[in-house]
Chains A and B, each alone.
Chain A
Amino acid sequence: AEVDETLKRIQAHKGVIATMIINAEGIPIRTTLDNSTTVQYAGLLCQLTTKARSTVRDIDPQNDLTFLRIRSKKHEVMVAPDKEYLLVVIQNPCE
């Protein structure tokens, strides 16, 4: 499908280390990383996204979280939350 192509393109971009799709329960559906790391990322990011969304909506209930970016020393973790899924991409920003 189109979505498949989009995901393939994202994966093929410069600097992208890994891509993951996690469902609402924190179970990874698709991943390009090894299992243990993926499960770890899934659990932690799920909680963080919920917390972030709760923060945003608490301040203004009509608002909602669209994107979450965590920039660290080594790379950047980008989380795109959806109603039921979480799309996570780890990229090495070229600097």
Chain B
Amino acid sequence: ELKEEFTRVLTANNPHAPQNIVRYSFKERAYKPIGYVDQTAIHFSLNGNLILKDSDEGRRQSVKSAVSEKPSLASSAVISEETEIKDEEGTEDTQAEGEEEAEEAGTAEEAEAEEAEEPPPPKVKEQKLANQFNFIERASKTLNNPLRERACQSEPTPCKNFSATANQWEIYDAYMEELQKMEKSKEKEKPKAQIAKKEEKKKGRKLTSLESQSDDITKISKAAKIMERMVNQNIFDDIAQDFKYFEDASDEYRNQKGTLLPLWKFQYDKTKRLAVTAISWNPKYKDLFAVGYGSYDFMKQSHGMLLLYTMKNPSFPEYVFSSESGIMCLDIHNDHPYLVAVGFYDGNVAIYNLKKATSQPSYKSSAKSGKHTDPVWQVKWQKDDMDNNLNFFSVSSDGRIVSWTLVKNELVHTDVIKLSAEGTTMQGPEGLQLQTLGCGTSFDFHKKIDYLFLVGTEEGKIYKCSKCYSSQFLDVFEAHHMAVDSVSWNPYHLKVFISCSSDWTVKIWDHTIKTPMFIYDLHSAVGDVAWSPYSSTVFAAVTTDGKAHVFDLSINKYEALCTQIVVAKKKNKITHIQFNPVYPVVIIGDERGHITCLKLSPNLRKMPK
């Protein structure tokens, strides 16, 4: 180890010089290392006074030094001629050597130079050096006019702070306003409209002034209505959920049988003693239905009511109309869903207009205008006649089927048919032939064939009639032993109709065949029967013992798919049933004034293939 040789090299590198200098190059815009670093190490530096002989400064100084020597030589030679000047210059020379040596020497030199020129060797004229420190400036200032300020301030323009958000809808609103303004201006151009406008404006002003005076809560009616429905929805939340979504899964295990799930129950204080006599769904608003209240009891006849409920608000009716006589039947017009035709117990008919706020009927028949003499059991709207007048038919126990037409705000009646009971012409006094009239209890018009309709009577017969023939029937069916409560054409099978009666039976017929196709015995008087709107083979019937029966002919021809007690109390009889045209729901009315809404389970809703 000790014998290892360490070589030491003597280099000329400066150990203190940095080896990695990096400079920024603007050309390449980057930092570049400098390859060669200056290795010189300066150990000692001193600024000296030596000037190079041949440089400019050196030459100048050498000339000066040469000239300054000469006056001392030349003065001795030219003393006699210019003693005064020389003395001055000489004294000047000696005095101002330190300070103004250059200048005085320069002037002396010049003087000497001029003098020296006379004697031989001419010399170069020395330039006079301008001393920058001895600069004299001569300036003069003009008179400054005194400044005066005269200002005038105008009133600041009125400023207003405005802030708003520019939303889509604000833009839209602005455009709509513009549109309306344009339309109004167009209207104003017409002279007639101008006069009318003035009147309107006056009325409008009066109204607005009145409204603004009182803190009117009537404006909130719309909001209140929506709110009530929402509150109801919250309360009956589970029912609403059931209505929409509940499908009875146990139907699969029930062997084709179905159930009716009770949903809402509609009741109103004032109708507690009245029986539901008629139910009808509104053709336009599928959740709105009309209920007529009256009494079936011959002895106890009191007032009647017409209520319209909506499924959205089960706790209070939307519209309430009251009448003196019990309502026996009602029908809502298909095209004008605000017109309700009503038949009364006292034989009158009336039309209620839902759009008007009054609780009185818009048009009413009277004894003069040919009302029925017995209760009107059914009314049905017809298509508008040729003069575009509304008309409807009514059937009553007095044996007349009457067509009422609304002509110039009055109800005009025309007897269509008189139901003469066959074989009962009697010989009255003075040889008059009296015909006892049958009592019509229900009728139904054919869906497609307009003039064809069926009438059920109290004797149990069903007459097939035509609007064209006023005295003769097209056909008679010996249907039941007791009064026919309801007849109804099948909405799909155009030849089939159904009838129900208090003789405990429901019968299905083909109108070309005299005998019924099916007979069902329901063990209790049948109040009402209705076809379902979604299937041609499903129908429902209600009996006075509180049960609802649902049949599906495509599945079971002899038995009901569902027999369910709808009304709990024993004294309560069910009077009517109606299917909702859209939802799988039926409403059933009873004698206590209650309406129950039930949902059909899936088994009952099968569509025929």
- Asked whether B234 lies within 8 Å of A61 as measured between CB atoms, the reply is no
B220 engages A58 (CB within 8 Å):
no
B11 within 8 Å of A (CB atoms) = no
Q: How far is the CA of A54 from the CA of B315 in the complex (A)?
A: 34
Quick check: B219 and A83 within 8 Å, CB to CB? yes
Cα distance A71–B222 in the bound complex, in angstroms: 22
Question: Pick the contact of A21 from B173, B217, B315, B316 — CB < 8 Å?
Answer: B217
A56-95 to B contact mask, C-beta < 8 Å, 1/0: 0111111000110100000010101111111101010111
**Stretch touching chain A among B77-85, B126-134, B223-231, B393-401:** B223-231
A87 and B235 CA atoms in complex are apart in Å by 18
- Known contacts: A21-B217, A21-B220, A58-B167. The answer to whether A87 contacts B172 by CB under 8 A is no
Once the chains bind, are B168 and A93 in contact (CB under 8 Å)?
Answer: no
A85 CB contacts on chain B under 8 angstroms = 219-220, 223
User: B226 to A15, Cβ gap below 8 A?
Assistant: no
Q: Which residues of B contact A94 (CB under 8 A)?
A: 234-235, 237
Q: A9-B316, A57-B169, A61-B171 are in contact. Are A78 and B227 (CB under 8 A)?
A: yes
User: Chain A's nearest CB lies how many Å from the CB of B4?
Assistant: 89
Main secondary structure of the interface of B (DSSP, over half): helix
A3 — which chain B residues lie within 8 A by C-beta? Answer: 217-218, 220-221, 224
Could you tell me the distance between the alpha carbons of A29 and B225 in the complex, rounded to whole angstroms?
18
Are the CB atoms of B223 and A14 closer together than 8 Å? no
Contact-residue bracket for chain A: 35 or more
Q: A15-B234, A21-B217 given as contacts; is B228 within 8 A of A61 (CB)?
A: no
* B235–A15 touching, CB < 8 Å: yes
Count A/B pairs, Cβ under 8 Å: 95
A residues near B228, Cβ cutoff 8 Å: 6, 9-10
Given the complex of chains A and B, what is the CA–CA distance between A61 and B221 in angstroms?
A: 25
A16 and B220 contact, Cβ closer than 8 Å, known pairs A57-B168, A58-B167, A61-B173: no
A10-B171 in contact given A3-B220, A66-B226 (Cβ < 8 Å): no
Q: Is A34 an interface residue (CB 8 A)?
A: no
A84 CA to B222 CA, complexed, in Å: 12
B215: interface (CB < 8 Å): yes
Query: Which listed residue (A13, A57, A62, A80) contacts B315, Cβ 8 A?
Result: A13
Least Cβ–Cβ distance between B110 and chain A, in angstroms: 98
Enumerate chain B interface residues (CB-CB to A < 8 A): 165, 167-169, 171-173, 215, 217-228, 230-232, 234-235, 237, 315-316
Q: Which A residues are within 8 Å of any B CB, using their own CB?
A: 1-4, 6-7, 9-10, 13-16, 21, 29-30, 54, 57-62, 66-67, 69, 76, 78, 80-87, 89, 91, 93-95
* CB-defined A-B contacts under 8 Å, sample of 8: A2-B221, A9-B316, A16-B231, A30-B217, A61-B169, A67-B230, A82-B220, A91-B234
